[in-house]
Amino acid sequence: MKTIERTCAIAYSINLLGDKWSLLILRDVLIHKKTRFKEFVDSKEKIATNILANRLKFLVEEGFLELLDPNGFKKNKQYIGTDRALAALPIIMELYLFSIHSIKESVLNASQVSIKKKILSDRKGFEDNIKETYLNFVRKLKIS
Q: Which domains does the chain have, with CATH numbers?
A: 20-143 (1.10.10.10)
pLDDT on residue 85: 97
pLDDT on residue 3: 58
In degrees rounded to 5, what are phi and psi of residue 127?
Answer: -65, -45
pLDDT on residue 26: 97
Which is it for the CA torsion 123, 32, 67, 15, positive or negative?
negative
pLDDT on residue 15: 82
pLDDT on residue 19: 86
pLDDT on residue 13: 85
Listed as ranges, residues in the chain with pLDDT below 70 are 1-6, 70-72, 74
At residue 141, what is the residue type?
Answer: L
CA distance 35 to 79: 5
What's the pTM value of the predicted model, to 2 decimals? 0.87
The DSSP output letter for 36 is S
Are the CB atoms for 127 and 90 separated by under 8 Å? yes
pLDDT on residue 29: 97
